[in-house]
Structure 1
Amino acid sequence: MLCPPFPMDASPPRYRRFSRPGPVPQPATDLPAYTRRNTLAQPLVRREPVEHLYPLVDGKNRPWATLSLMSSAKSGKSLPTFHEKEHINGSFQLTAEKGDSIQSVTVTVTGRIITGSAIDDTYAFLTQSLTLWSKSDSRSSGAATKLLGECVWPFSIPLPKAVSLKDFSHDVLFRLPETFLERHTRASVSYEISVLVSRGKLRVDSQIKTRFGYIPSTRPDPPSLLRQLAYRENSPLPGPEVDLAGWKTSSPAVIRGSLFKTRQAAVHCMLSLANPLSYTRGTVIPCRMTLESNDGQALDMFSSPAAPLVTLRRRVRFQNPATSSKRGADWVESFEDVCRAVWWPSADGTNAPYCRSLEGEIKLPKDLASSSSIGRFTVSYTIVVSPFETTGFTPSSSQPILVEPVTIATTHARDSPRPQAYAPPAYAPLPVPRQHNDFFAAQATARPGR
């Protein structure tokens, strides 16, 4: 496999000798035999709807009103879950006694961004109300103006795909974000459905409410034709030198540092990611890496499969509604490395004397939050190449070597085979080395990235 040329502003290596005595190593031949897994290619099966019940009880612990919801959650005891294009289907039942002055029964669906515990730390981006029964409407229609006995109202509320919000004095259409609630992150996206039983003056109203999960339908574009063919035939993925449309290759970056505290070393690194740069959670991100150097010892150390530190980093960025209208208000950001790439020696071809190639992939958790942006709340992702981890090497800087923005989707590409995992069984996922859960404020001098 031919290595790409060095950048113009870097000194090219001198190809006068091998990086070490003897023939060029062939690490791919040392790999254990294995059968390629196809664990990610299972068809998506939508669950049968389950019923969720939320009763209101009286002083004798007897239920007199019940909210029923049908959703695609795991069980009736789980949080109700609704997908894009689904309706919130349910019913509300109550037993009205004589003399109960009920004025109206209303069901409301609300979506909120929550950034703190105070009232001003909440911003509603979605509010939909449906009146199930109203005394005033009954009076105008000639129907009974009082409820008595068993009453049941079925309802079906469609969720919009997007909402229009004011963003920096402009109306912007935003797709509904996925429910987001994590212990170490201050901001959250919450959805709630409630039923309010309103009574007359000097009478206490009654309310049933519950949170529910919402999952948008976001999908990547199909992969290249050569990658689709590899998935269908269960064959190796063609690399960047063969499938030009199937990969995005970074510009070369230089990894600098000292070896064993005795001398300086530099290795050129290029990262290739499967194109397009959008990936469905629960699948994998195919990766390739090329390393070049005329320092044979550094090249051997850096080309070890455990050395590259490549992670998927999530950024949550938001602004407190209480301060968002003030000039110079602060943005709050948190970062977290959620998963790490595994690497193995490339089997695509022969490494040049001063060049090494690695294949890799990042396995995405099934419950990974999808990329989203609404108003002044954003969940985004980047692939980050950090200073390599290898014994005897001290990097000259702790800053990332390469950063590439990517998108995490919730569903698979249309009319395309499902991605496969290619990592040999011996190369188990490595632990994420460090978390970036701390928050910091950044002056709002520009609009947030979408």
Structure 2
Amino acid sequence: MDASSPPRYRRFSRLGPAPSAADLPAYTRRNTLAQPVAHREPVEHVYLLEDGKGRPWASLTLLSSAKSGKSVPTYNEKEHISGSFQLTAEKGDSIQSVTVTVTGRIITGSNIDDQYTFLSQSLPLWSKADSRASGDAPKLLGTCLWPFSIPLPKAVSLKDGGHDTLFRLPETFLERHTRASISYEISVLVSRGKLRADSQVKTRFGYIPNIRPDPPSVLRQLAYRENSMLPGPEVDPVGWKTSPTSVIRGTVFKTRQVAVHCILSLANPLSYTRGTVLPCRMILESGDNHALDMFSAPAAPLVTLRRCVRFQNLSTSSKRGADWVESFEDVARAVWWPSASGNDAPYTRCLEGEIKLPKDLTSTSSIGRFTVSYTVVVSSFETAGFVPSSSQPILVEPVTIATTHARDSPRPQEYAPPNYAPLPVPRTHHDFYAVPATKFIGR
């Protein structure tokens, strides 16, 4: 069957009319169309260097897109790290140079071998040698101020499998229960002579890449603009990615074997902006009417957005090479309700749903020894008396989490009825799994 054509479903016959969504409570869709966003003025962050008596003699000032000066400085892709460094030099202070450096690291442990630098940019603010060469005063005296503006690259070139590969700068990642992190830091080094100690002021900062999804289908954009019902896969096949049919098998009340066919559709393209929603559709089919009613209850499908953090831990490397470590976490769960289209046929049920994406989701990224990836996982069905024959996921579909909205397209809307509140994420995976690197050859 052509992938662009609507999915076809095998129909079963049964007595009696097919159930409809007429009993659904009335509700109003929440309009989340794009609204003008007020431009946020840069905020100021100040970091001081103090002498032995607690008196400040130097300061690093940064301007950033953070919410307040008390927050960590934050920069978006294409923004410059702008600021200034000021110091007061006294007579006899043998300062040789002043240099500002921006660094990005992958950190997987406390050992020096567990840190890998993927970004390093230095900008000399002042040098005694350069002052002599230019005929300026070779020594600093009094209050000195150096403004600076450092552009961050969109991508960096790193060795990957022996070849130079271009990687987009990843988003800052730092979580207490995850061993690996992506850390960015800016520092200013005041270097003195051999008999004097150097001084340094530094701070971490946050970085957000500009990951933008492609626009949704024309029919979905029209639905968003008109605040109307989303067209399903049978009407808008281009707007949905439909999975192959999977079969859920198990036992009901320890007495009867059941089998239910499941087809999952996710909104196309499979890239979604955090803070919005991920639209879903599900078709369930079975010759067992009782089992079908159990599985099509809105709270039954256990469909989650699962995050995988995968990194290379050099300190635990074997002779064959460094091990890869993976950790998994379910970060959001789909909400389901009976389809309002009334397309249910005998022995068939159709559910509409969506996954509300948290605003603080880390975006999808990959840079050499560190990746953050996401999948939509159909794990099971939570219904009384049902015991699945397998604990393995029923369906897994990779998706991308973006940081900004599609260009020239309306914002996605939330369609879940008000009384269908988001369900709690059933479990969190904080376990780590070490996987030999040889398993991933060729990936």
- Name the TM-score class by shorter chain: over 0.9
Q: Hey, what does 2:202 align to over in structure 1?
A: 209
Cα pair 2:314 2:323 within 8 Å, conserved: no
1:49-100, Cα deviation, whole Å (9 max, x unpaired): 0000001111222110000000010000000000000000000000000000
Q: Which moved more, 1:437-446 or 1:69-78?
A: 437-446
Residue 200 of structure 1 deviates from its aligned partner by 0.2
1:25 aligned partner, one-letter code? P
Residue 448 of structure 1 deviates from its aligned partner by 7.7
1:308-356, Cα deviation, whole Å (9 max, x unpaired): 0000000000002446795243110000000000000001123111000
Q: Does residue 286 of structure 2 align to residue 282 of structure 1?
A: no
Output the CA distance in 2 between the equivalents of 1:395 and 1:45. 51
2:42 aligned partner, one-letter code? P
Output the CA distance in 2 between the equivalents of 1:449 and 1:95. 56
Which one of 291, 296, 303 corresponds to residue 296 of structure 2? Answer: 303
Output the CA distance in 2 between the equivalents of 1:419 and 1:14. 35
Output the CA distance in 2 between the equivalents of 1:95 and 1:73. 28
Which one of 419, 437, 442 corresponds to residue 444 of structure 1? Answer: 437
Provide closer, same or farther for how the CA distance between residues 14 and 57 of structure 1 changes in structure 2, counting only shifts above 3 A. Answer: closer
Q: Hey, what does 1:262 align to over in structure 2?
A: 255
Which one of 270, 274, 284 corresponds to residue 291 of structure 1? Answer: 284
TM-score, normalising length: structure 2: 0.96
1:51 aligned partner, one-letter code? E
Cα pair 1:3 1:355 within 8 Å, conserved: no
Residue 426 of structure 1 deviates from its aligned partner by 0.4
Output the CA distance in 2 between the equivalents of 1:448 and 1:308. 35
Output the CA distance in 2 between the equivalents of 1:38 and 1:51. 35
Output the CA distance in 1 between the equivalents of 2:67 and 2:75. 12
Which one of 21, 24, 39 corresponds to residue 18 of structure 2? Answer: 24
Output the CA distance in 1 between the equivalents of 2:37 and 2:162. 41
Output the CA distance in 1 between the equivalents of 2:12 and 2:400. 39
Residue 29 of structure 1 deviates from its aligned partner by 1.2
Which one of 190, 198, 221 corresponds to residue 228 of structure 1? Answer: 221
1:152-185, Cα deviation, whole Å (9 max, x unpaired): 0000000000000001111000000000011111
Q: Which moved more, 1:435-444 or 1:108-117?
A: 435-444
> How many corresponding residue pairs?
438
TM-score, normalising length: structure 1: 0.95
RMSD over equivalenced CA pairs, Å: 1.6
Output the CA distance in 2 between the equivalents of 1:349 and 1:322. 58
1:59 aligned partner, one-letter code? G
SS in 2 for 1:419: coil
Output the CA distance in 2 between the equivalents of 1:138 and 1:75. 38
Output the CA distance in 1 between the equivalents of 2:7 and 2:399. 25
Residue 149 of structure 1 deviates from its aligned partner by 0.3
1:254 aligned partner, one-letter code? V
Q: Hey, what does 1:91 align to over in structure 2?
A: 84
Output the CA distance in 2 between the equivalents of 1:299 and 1:136. 80
* Runs of 4+ residues over 3 Å off in structure 1: 39-46, 321-326, 446-450
Provide closer, same or farther for how the CA distance between residues 3 and 158 of structure 1 changes in structure 2, counting only shifts above 3 A. Answer: closer
Which one of 323, 330, 335 corresponds to residue 342 of structure 1? Answer: 335
Q: Hey, what does 1:189 align to over in structure 2?
A: 182
2:405 aligned partner, one-letter code? H
1:182-205, Cα deviation, whole Å (9 max, x unpaired): 111110000000000000011110
Q: Hey, what does 1:245 align to over in structure 2?
A: 238
Q: Hey, what does 1:358 align to over in structure 2?
A: 351
1:426-446, Cα deviation, whole Å (9 max, x unpaired): 000000001111001111125
SS in 2 for 1:245: helix
1:262 aligned partner, one-letter code? T
Q: Hey, what does 1:386 align to over in structure 2?
A: 379
Output the CA distance in 2 between the equivalents of 1:448 and 1:46. 47
Residue 47 of structure 1 deviates from its aligned partner by 1.9
Q: Does residue 409 of structure 2 align to residue 431 of structure 1?
A: no
Output the CA distance in 2 between the equivalents of 1:447 and 1:47. 44
Q: Hey, what does 1:131 align to over in structure 2?
A: 124
Which one of 403, 413, 427 corresponds to residue 410 of structure 1? Answer: 403
Q: Could you list the runs of 5+ residues in structure 2 that have no partner in the other structure? A: 1-5
Residue 43 of structure 1 deviates from its aligned partner by 4.1
Output the CA distance in 1 between the equivalents of 2:438 and 2:410. 43
Provide closer, same or farther for how the CA distance between residues 133 and 42 of structure 1 changes in structure 2, counting only shifts above 3 A. Answer: same
Identity fraction in percent: 80
Provide closer, same or farther for how the CA distance between residues 3 and 160 of structure 1 changes in structure 2, counting only shifts above 3 A. Answer: closer
Q: Hey, what does 2:3 align to over in structure 1?
A: none
Q: Hey, what does 1:9 align to over in structure 2?
A: none
Q: Hey, what does 1:10 align to over in structure 2?
A: none
Cα pair 1:196 1:205 within 8 Å, conserved: yes
SS in 2 for 1:387: strand
Q: Hey, what does 1:4 align to over in structure 2?
A: 8
Provide closer, same or farther for how the CA distance between residues 154 and 325 of structure 1 changes in structure 2, counting only shifts above 3 A. Answer: farther
Provide closer, same or farther for how the CA distance between residues 40 and 62 of structure 1 changes in structure 2, counting only shifts above 3 A. Answer: farther
1:365-395, Cα deviation, whole Å (9 max, x unpaired): 1110000000111000000001100111111
Output the CA distance in 2 between the equivalents of 1:67 and 1:443. 44
Which one of 155, 165, 171 corresponds to residue 172 of structure 1? Answer: 165
Provide closer, same or farther for how the CA distance between residues 422 and 221 of structure 1 changes in structure 2, counting only shifts above 3 A. Answer: same
